[in-house]
Amino acid sequence: MRPMSKDREAAARAAALRAQLHHHAWRYYVHDAPEIPDAEYDRLFRELQALEAAHPGLRTPDSPTQRVLGSVLEGLAPVRHALPMLSIQTETDTGPGGAEAFDTRVRRELELAADAPPVEYAAELKFDGLAISLRYEAGVLVLAATRGDGETGEDVTHNIRTIGQIPLRLQGRAPKLLEVRGEVYMRRDAFRRLNEQQRARGARTFVNPRNTAAGAVRQLDPAVTAARPLSFFAYGVGELGGWTPPPTHSALLDALAAHGLPVCAERSVVHGWAGLMHFHDDVAARRDALPFDIDGVVYKVNVLELQQRLGFKTREPRWAVAHKFPAEEEATLLAGIELQVGRTGKLTPVARLEPVFVGGTTVSNATLHNLFELRRKGVRVGDRVIVRRAGDVIPEIVGRMPGARAHYVPNFRMPRACPVCGSAVVRERGSVEHRCSGGLYCAAQRKQALLHYAGRRAMDIEGLGDKLVDQLVDGGLVRTLPDLYGLDAAQLAALERMGERSAANLLAALEHSKHTTLARLLYALGIRHVGEATARDLARRFRRLDAIMNAGVEQLLEVPDVGPVVAQSIRTFFAQPHNREVLERLRACGVAFDEADAAAPAAPAPLAGRTFVLTGTLPGLARDEAKALIEAAGGKVAGSVSKKTDYVVAGGEPGSKLAKAHELGIAVLDEAGLRALLAP
C-alpha cells in the first residue's frame, strides 16, 4: 500500500477535524450536552486553524474557522440579524505574550510609529454564558434573539422577558432604535442552590452554569425559564437608529447603564499591552471571588473611530480579542472511587483521579455527591471523565468521555457498613443520601458529636469549643463522649491556650453538666431528626431513658409530631450496641438526668395545644427564654404566622409577622400578656 502524501494526509486530517468540530458544536449549542470539555474543543479548533494556515487550499466555506457555529432549534422562530453577531479571536497564551501580540497587531494595522503613544483599550470580563441581542424600539423591548450562526438566531423574547435584570422599557430618553448585545448567565450561588434543589427532589442535576443558562433561554415554555435564576450583562450594541453613540466603547457602556441596562462594573480603560496585562493579572487573582464564571478577559480598542478603521476579517473584528485563563474543564482518568464520611455521617463517593491541571490548580480528587448522581452520570472506574473546577466550587465530575469501555467494570455500590466504624449504613425513604448510623461511636463524626453534646441547648458545657475539641480529638484524649468526664486538670492545662484557670473552669462545667434533664440528654445525643421539641415530647411521653431505648416504632409513633422517618431514626440509633454502650458509660461517669422528677406527675400545662409565634424584642425576656417558657407550659413555638397560629407575641420592631397576624385576625400579646397566660 502506497503511503499517503503529506498534502493528502493534511487534507484527511482537516476533514476529520471539521467533522469532529461540527459534531461537538452541535452537541454544545443545539442540545446543551457537550461530550468533551471546552479545553479539548479549543485544542481541536487550534489544530484546524494551524492546518489551514499551512495549507490555505484546505480552507472551505463550511469550516468552523470561517463562521460562528450554532443552529436554530426546531420550535423557535428564526431571526435574521440586521448586523452579524460575530465572535472574537481568542488569545490562548495566558501570559504577557497574549496581550502583547494583540497590541502589536493593532499598532501594525493602524500604522503607528514605534514612538507613538500607547493605544487606549477597554478591558472587560469574558462571561461564560449565552450571547443575546435585545432590540428596543422607542425604548420598549420588542425582540430578543440568540446569536445562532451569527447571521440568523432564534427568537427567545418570551423567555428573556422573565429575567428581572433586563428592562422591558429603557430609562431616560431612549433612541428610536437600540439593539443591545450582551450575555445571559447564571451566578455560581444560584447554580449551587438550583442543583441542591434538584438533588433534594431526586431529579437530575445540571452540568455547569453556562449550559444551564443556555438551556433555560432556549425553552419553548417560559415557565421553565422563569424557574431558573438567570442574570444578564450588556457589553455592546448592534443596529442603531436615531442615536449617535459616544466616541468610546467605555462611554457607550456608561450610556447603556444610564438607560437601566445591567453593565458589569469589573472593567477598566487601560493603555498599551502593559495595561492590558495588568488587568488580566488582576482579574485572574480575583477570579475565584467573582460571583459568576468567566474564562478570560476581553480587550477592545476603546475609540470607536479607530475600531471602524481596523474593521473586520473573515470571522472576527480586528479591534477586539479574548485573552483566556486556564480551562475550568479537563479530561482525565478516573482511577478509583472511595467513600468519605462527613461530620454528620453522610457518605459521599469521592473520585480519585489521575492528577490534572484545571481551573488554575492540580486536581486529584473530585466529588460525586451521592450514589444516584454517580449512576446518572454513568461513570465507572477506568473511564476518561470530564472534571470541572470553577471558582471556589469543589471539583466535580461532569460526565464521561464518549467511547466503549475496554472491559466490563461493575457499577459502584454503597456498602452496608460504614467504612470508618462498621455501623449500619442507612438511607431514608425518598432521600438520595446514605448515612452512617454510628453517631456517637463513629470517628468521622466525633468532633461534630462532641460540639453538639456541649452546646448551650444540650449539656451546656461552657468552654468546650471548636479549637479545644480539635485538640482533644487530634491528641487522642477523647474518643467518645464519656471520655470527657475522665479528663483531669493536668491534661487540660497542657493544651494550647488553656492554662490552670481555664482547665479548672472546664472541669467545673463538665461536673455541672452531669445534672441535666432527660430532654436535654436526648437532644445532646445528636439523634438524627430529634430536635429540642421532639426531645421534650419523648421525655414527656416515656419519662425514662430505658423506655425510649426499648420502644418500638409503633410506640414512638404515638408521640406528637413523630412520624415514620423520625421513629425509624430513633429506633436505628438505639439499636446500635455501641450507642447503648456510650449511654451506659455516661451513667457510670455520674451523668444523671433527673429521672425521679421525670417520673413524677406531669406539671400543669396551661398552654397545651396552643401555637405561638414570637416577633420583635421583648423588654424582659430573650427570645430563647420566652420559647423555653412557652414549651415548658405545653405550648408550641412556630417560625411563621399561619391560620394555625393561636397567638403572636410581639415586642419592639416586630416586622412583617405582626402585619400577618392582623391580616389573619390572630390575637396579639405583649410580654405582660404572655406572662399572664403562663401564670398558674
CA distances from 108 to 35, 104, 277, 416 (A): 40, 6, 19, 69
Does residue 248 contact residue 119 with C-beta atoms inside 8 Å?
A: no
Q: What is the Cα 653 distance to its own chain's centre?
A: 34
CA 113 vs CA 107, 108, 121, 321: distances in Å: 8, 9, 18, 22
Block residue for cell numbers 495595561? 275
The HSE-up count of residue 438 (CA atoms within 13 Å, CB side) is 24
Beta bridge partners of 334: 353
Is residue 394 within 8 Å of residue 364, measured between CB atoms? no
User: Cα-atom radius of gyration of the chain, to the nearest Å?
Assistant: 32
Q: Are 161 and 168 in contact (CB under 8 A)?
A: yes
Cell 477598566, residue? 268
Burial of 113 (0-12, 13-18, 19+ CB in 10 A): exposed
Distance set, CA 636 to CA 542, 579, 606 (Å): 19, 30, 12
Rounded Cα distance between 468 and 492, Å, is 9
Helix (H/G/I), strand (E/B), else coil: 185: strand
- Torsion angle (degrees, nearest 10) of CA 31, 35, 39, 40: -130
E strands within 279-383?
A: 294-301, 320-324, 329-341, 346-358, 361-367
Q: Are strands 434-436 and 361-367 parallel, antiparallel or unpaired?
A: unpaired
SS3 271: strand
538: left (phi over 0), alpha (psi -120 to 50) or beta: alpha
| 126 given a catalytic annotation | yes
Element (H, E) at 24: helix 6-25
Q: Of residues 6, 126, 324, 346, which has the active-site annotation?
A: 126
Q: Residue 506 corresponds to which cell in the numbers above?
A: 472546664
Long-range contacts of 12-21 (CB under 8 A, 24+ apart): 13/51, 14/48, 14/51, 14/52, 14/55, 14/58, 17/44, 17/47, 17/48, 17/51, 18/48, 18/60, 18/62, 18/63, 18/64, 20/44, 21/45, 21/48, 21/64, 21/69
How distant, in Å, are the alpha carbons of 485, 487, 511, 586 from that of 514? Answer: 9, 14, 6, 9
Q: Which residue's entry shows cell 433527673?
A: 594
Q: What DSSP string runs through 382-419?
A: T-EEEEE--TTSPPEEEEEPSS--SS--PPP---SB-T
Q: What would the DSSP string read from start to end of 441-491?
A: G-GGGHHHHHHHHHSTTTT--TT--HHHHHHHHHTTS-SSGGGGGG--HHH
Reduce the DSSP state of residue 564 to 3 states and report it.
helix
What cell does 319 get?
479591534
Q: Distance between CA atoms of 520 and 593, rounded to whole angstroms?
A: 8
C-alpha cell at 658: 405582626
| Closest CA relative to residue 351, chosen from 391, 394, 402, 392 | 394
- Residues noted as catalytic: 126
